[in-house]
């Protein structure tokens, strides 16, 4: 239980740090947010819990594939915001788009034998 609390605390501190950096400098905050910190931490936690090479390789490859359909969200949200759409609806639209693209990516890759 302590281990879980430590993982959560470290992960939470990183998210809080990114938001504080972005508040002071949006560009630098975006750079820090774009770093695969969550993915790297997730791999560290996974490796510590279960050091399995195949599991880690599968996890890293699936992360790569899932990053791709998440990228359009970061184009859609600013477009909507600049057109006068509120933050919450723009964020919701970005999330819906991402979920749809995740589903599409899973279906398309499945047709090529890639299982995520």
Residue 45 included in any domain: no
Residue 84 included in any domain: yes
Residue 99 included in any domain: yes
Whole-angstrom CA distances from 104 to 13, 21, 58, 60, 68 are 33, 34, 19, 20, 11
- Contact between residue 14 and residue 42 where contact means Cβ atoms under 8 Å apart: no
User: pLDDT value at position 47?
Assistant: 96
Specify whether 56 is located in the same domain as 92: yes
Name the residue range of residue 76's domain.
52-116
User: pLDDT value at position 58?
Assistant: 94
Specify whether 56 is located in the same domain as 105: yes
Specify whether 60 is located in the same domain as 107: yes
pLDDT in tens, the chain (116 residues): 888 898 889 888 988 998 999 999 999 988 888 888 888 988 999 999 999 999 999 999 999 999 999 999 999 999 999 999 999 999 999 999 999 999 999 999 999 998 88
User: pLDDT value at position 98?
Assistant: 97
Specify whether 111 is located in the same domain as 63: yes
The pTM assigned to this predicted structure is: 0.79
Rounded CA separation 75/45 (Å): 31
Specify whether 23 is located in the same domain as 58: no
User: pLDDT value at position 1?
Assistant: 84
Residue 42 included in any domain: no
Specify whether 115 is located in the same domain as 91: yes
């Amino acid at each position: 239980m302590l281990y879980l609390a430590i993982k959560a605390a470290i992960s939470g501190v990183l998210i809080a740090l990114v938001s504080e950096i972005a508040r002071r400098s949006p560009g630098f905050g975006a750079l820090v947010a774009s770093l695969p910190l969550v993915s790297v931490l997730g791999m560290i936690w996974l490796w510590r819990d279960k050091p399995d090479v195949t599991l880690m390789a599968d996890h890293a490859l699936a992360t790569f594939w899932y990053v791709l359909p998440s990228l359009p969200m970061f184009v859609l949200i600013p477009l909507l915001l600049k057109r006068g759409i509120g933050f919450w609806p723009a964020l919701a639209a970005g999330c819906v788009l991402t979920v749809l693209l995740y589903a599409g990516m899973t279906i398309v890759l499945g047709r090529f034998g890639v299982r995520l």
